[in-house]
Amino acid sequence: MQLPYFKYHPDPLSTEVFRTRKEPAVCPCCGQETSVIYEGPFYSVDEVEGLCPWCIASGAAAEKYDGAFQDSESVDEVSDPDKLEELVSRTPGYCGWQQEYWRAHCDDFCAFLGYVGYSELEQMGLSGEVLEESDGDDWLRESIRDLTRDGSFQGYLFRCLHCGKHLLHTDCD
């Protein structure tokens, strides 16, 4: 069965917020068996685990549990409130060290591509682009070479859906 498409998180299997299970689990939202479950952040009063991708995509999980997959205050600003609603209610989040932050560009949220260190940015030919985008952030310019994919100082890579520009968010443990 094909997973739903999430424009702001296009490959949640590779970022490992969705996990494939050998034995199906029951989604707590819809009650259906699924072999793919969500293991990313979900902010709700209830302790909810093992949501299926379809309940996330439809918004059923956020509605049923009055929850969010991304803190609406930890995002770049966009003018369309429907885009914010799609991001927080119908898009799987990602796992950060402290507080996940979602980047935006061209007045829309960007696609989360994954976790990166400096070596990954170099391999993709993106280190110069993300440094250029840092727009006067001297601390990032001086410390970007210390980024490690699975280390204490990690990068989160985003791509603008409209112009293709790559943006970075960094976080420390």
| pLDDT, tens digit (0-9, with 9 covering 90-100), for 54-89 | 999 999 999 999 999 999 999 999 999 999 999 999
State the pTM of this model. Answer: 0.93
Dig out the tokens for 66 from the structure: 């009055």
pLDDT digits (tens, 9 = 90+) for 146-167: 888 888 889 999 999 999 999 9
